[in-house]
Amino acid sequence: MPVPAVPGGAVCEPVPQTAAEVFGAALPAAVAYAGILATRGVEQGLLGPREVPRLWDRHLLNCAVVAELLEPRPGTLLDLGSGAGLPGLVLAMLLPGTAVTLLEPMERRCRFLGECVTELGLANATVLRGRAEDVTIRTEVVTARAVAPLPRLAELAMGVVRPGGMILAIKGRTAAEELKAAGPVLRRIGARDARVVRAGQGKVDPATTVVRFFAR
């Protein structure tokens, strides 16, 4: 597939072989989204130029494998602080039967997300401008990536998830330390079964590290 011309001269990595396995029928949408991120995403400051050469491994596949944690498939999912759409847009591609809300407070990012939703034909995705503290929506699953430290993120997510709903916070190497530090907050807000889980083992290297917990 053609490699898009990228602002600043960075070269977007070729579509890796594992992408077809992970994305399946959603691969054409993922390829189109990669092109948008590598061009307009960089131009608009939603993605740093240095991230373009590792766009698939570090971002798209890293987010896509989180879908394996969503069994049974939820009816509703909210991506908190969606930014460039990671993981919200990726999960909307993979979960066509799930109504995905991309919650983002910044207007320019909302415009970008809206363009992506339209161009990728994601009829199940909706962009909502706002902050978690100000919306009244309640959803079965909340996802977040690079939004806030875990204690703050947990409080925000618990405000928009339904009782018994699941929160998936995509984290990095320090996930276990963050989870330990967030213990008092998680107990105070009534989170249960908080633990570090990994998605995509055997598909992506390293596997995606996620802090998962549930609302009472």
Q: Is residue 7 part of a domain?
A: no
Is residue 6 in some structural domain?
no
Tell whether 22 is covered by a domain: no
CATH number, residue 154:
3.40.50.150
Asked if residue 18 belongs to a domain, the reply is: no
- Does the residue 42 lie in any domain? no
Does any domain span residue 45?
no
Nearest residue to 197 (alpha-carbon basis) of 177, 178, 216, 169: 169
Measured CA angle at 141 (ends 60, 38), to 5 deg: 20
pLDDT reported for residue 64 = 98
Secondary structure element (H or E) that encloses residue 94, with its range: helix 88-94
Backbone φ and ψ for 163, nearest 5 degrees, come out as -55, 130
Q: Is the predicted pLDDT of residue 6 greater than 50, yes or no?
A: no
Judge contact between 204 and 65, C-beta under 8 A: yes
Residue 100 lies in a domain: yes
For residue 10, what pLDDT is reported? 53
* pLDDT tens sequence across 132-176: 999 999 999 999 998 889 999 999 999 999 999 999 999 988 999
Predicted TM-score (pTM) of this structure:
0.93
- The reply to whether 167 falls in a domain is yes
In single-letter form, the type of residue at position 22 comes to V
Domain count for the chain: 1
Model pLDDT for residues 11-69, shown as the tens digit of each residue? 567 899 999 999 999 999 999 999 999 999 999 999 999 999 999 999 999 999 999 99
What is the arithmetic mean of pLDDT over 189-208? 95
Domain housing 196: 65-214
